[in-house]
Chains A and B, each alone.
Chain A
Amino acid sequence: MVNRRGRNLTDYVIILSDKDNVATSLVDLQAGDYLFGSGENQTTITVLEDIRAGFKLALSGIGKAEPIYKYGYVIGLATVDIEKGLCVHVHNLISSV
């Protein structure tokens, strides 16, 4: 469970490449959780909906039809505008193959 007062981003999600615009949650995140980066990564994110461990969190706003990066590679395209802090999964991502 994430402390609602805010916690270090990398303790709760993993970002697999600098190029990525999604992170994988390592714990069950809840709407309202506030995560902040440290060191070079000064990102701050308010989690906008519950995101279960293993699911993806948008690290930035992703426009409709824009590529979604994980592991530094494209894993699909956004089917709608995705706000930073939302869960990214089959409801808003489509395979690009």
Chain B
Amino acid sequence: MSTIKLKGYRRTDSLFGIRNHIVVMSTVSCANSVVEQIARADADIIPITHQHGCTHMGADTEQVLRTISGTCDNPNVGGVLLVGLGCETANVNNIASRADYSGKMVETLVIQEIGDLRKIMDTAQGSLRRIKEFVSKQQRNDFDISNLTVGLECGGSDPFSGITANPAVGLVSDRLVELGATVILSEIPEMIGAEACLESRILDDAVKQRLMARIKDYLQKAKDAGGDLRGCNPAPGNIKTGLSSIEEKSLGCFIKAGRSDINEFVEYAGHPKCKGLVVMDTPGNDPESVTGMVAGGANLVLFTTGTGTPVGNPVAPVIKISSNTRMYRRMCDFIDIDAGKIIEGARADAVADEIFEFLLDVCNAKQTAAEVNNCKEFAVNRIGPAF
């Protein structure tokens, strides 16, 4: 059993937040400007806006609702003000009823019900005062690292990602799994070409079949869209660094999942039921993938990058790990740890130790580069058209 204790905000017996954020969440794009105005008064309040919440249907609606409610229900969130328009699909009651929001305070505001902008602002400030009072009374408690959920992401991969940063993160992932934590691997299109490695790591036949079918589905979608994945994935930026095919990119990406068995295949923004290593159904698009994992409960994300990227998340710290020192030096404000030093002779396990220690510090309130830089991308993966 693990002996690593962290400090966090207790939501349930097994869910702890490593942050205690207050979020003003837009339930529909029509409310975005109002949400931004509400949050402007206080730098500690995090506004979350997006382009969705209405005129979608069926499974697409479900996914949008699951992502919005899941983000609000992430353990790192202590209080939420849901702001809706009134006539939308993703109305505040719909979002509020989709999760139990244990250990946090949720209030709602509907623009059409209040009417006047000044009244809306007054009502919102009243809600935020109550939420802030509630959140300020919450104390950090000891919790075991086995209650932590960590997402894995790579963005702007280069040929060194699979040689430096991803092997180091793979060692960290294995260590988290051994300690009983949950680790989420995502980005299904970046498994195309790595199926043979993946298959051998999945013990459950049903999980294996569903995941393999989903990978095929993505490949077919790419072909239906008028070609193969070349020019799109790998992206032009990947190709410029020397990555030549989706297989090469995928094989390098998959290394960040270490050597643990894969226990579950969970839908986009769904909550894993299993501990250990699980796979989430997300696209390779970084903000969408990170948003999905965080909506599914990830407390933080380990994000490797070769070409460099500022991408963060509104409620979960994102730890950036560079695959090469050349980029690290150029973009050091955006990067937390340089794994490129492995090329110069540093040991991958020493870099893994460095990442793990940094992760523990981040759990205990240290700010990541993405947090310091106020990088808070929120992007919902849509699976249907807007009508």
B165 close to chain A: CB less than 8 A: no
Decide: B248 and A76 in contact? CB cutoff 8 A.
yes
B-contacting residues, A25-84, CB 8 Å: 26, 52-56, 70-71, 73-76
Q: Using C-beta atoms within 8 Å of the partner chain, give the interface range for chain A.
A: 20 to 34
Decide: B242 and A54 in contact? CB cutoff 8 A.
yes
Determine how close the nearest CB of chain B comes to the CB of A16; give it in whole angstroms.
Answer: 7
For the complex, count residues of B whose C-beta is within 8 A of A. Answer: 26
A88 to B245, CA, bound (A): 11
A94 to B248, CA, bound (A): 11
Most chain B beta-carbon contacts within 10 A, residue among A26, A53, A54: A54
Decide: B228 and A75 in contact? CB cutoff 8 A.
no
Decide: A55 and B229 in contact? CB cutoff 8 A.
no
Decide: B343 and A26 in contact? CB cutoff 8 A.
yes
Partner of A75, one of B196, B229, B244, B324: B244
A14-B163, A97-B246 known; A73+B193 contact, CB < 8 A: yes
Partner of B244, one of A52, A71, A73, A89: A89
A54-B160, A71-B252, A95-B228 known; A76+B244 contact, CB < 8 A: yes
Contacts of A95 in B (CB 8 A): 193, 228-230, 244-247
Contacts of A88 in B (CB 8 A): 244
A76 to B239, CA, bound (A): 14
Decide: A71 and B228 in contact? CB cutoff 8 A.
no
Decide: A16 and B242 in contact? CB cutoff 8 A.
no
A-contacting residues, B211-238, CB 8 Å: 219, 228-230
> Which B-chain residue is minimally distant from A76 (CB atoms)?
B245
A89-B244, A93-B244, A93-B245 known; A73+B197 contact, CB < 8 A: yes
Determine how close the nearest CB of chain A comes to the CB of B199; give it in whole angstroms.
Answer: 12
Contacts of B145 in A (CB 8 A): none
A70 to B251, CA, bound (A): 9
Contacts of A21 in B (CB 8 A): none
A1 close to chain B: CB less than 8 A: no
Decide: B228 and A97 in contact? CB cutoff 8 A.
yes
B162 close to chain A: CB less than 8 A: yes
Contacts of B196 in A (CB 8 A): 73
Contacts of B158 in A (CB 8 A): 54
Contacts of B159 in A (CB 8 A): 24, 54-56
Contacts of A73 in B (CB 8 A): 193-194, 196-197, 247, 251
Decide: B241 and A94 in contact? CB cutoff 8 A.
no
A52 to B343, CA, bound (A): 15
Decide: A52 and B242 in contact? CB cutoff 8 A.
yes
Most chain A beta-carbon contacts within 10 A, residue among B197, B228, B244, B246: B244
Partner of B247, one of A16, A55, A76: A76
Partner of A97, one of B162, B193, B252, B343: B193
A8 close to chain B: CB less than 8 A: no
A54-B159, A54-B160 known; A75+B245 contact, CB < 8 A: yes
Given A56-B159, A73-B196, A89-B239, output 14 extra A-B contacts at Cβ < 8 Å.
A24-B163, A54-B324, A70-B251, A71-B162, A73-B251, A75-B245, A90-B244, A93-B244, A94-B230, A95-B228, A95-B229, A95-B244, A95-B246, A97-B193
6 intermolecular pairs with C-beta atoms under 8 Å apart: A53-B324, A73-B196, A76-B248, A95-B246, A96-B247, A97-B192
Residues of chain A at the chain B interface (Cβ within 8 Å): 14, 16, 24, 26, 52-56, 70-71, 73-76, 88-90, 93-97
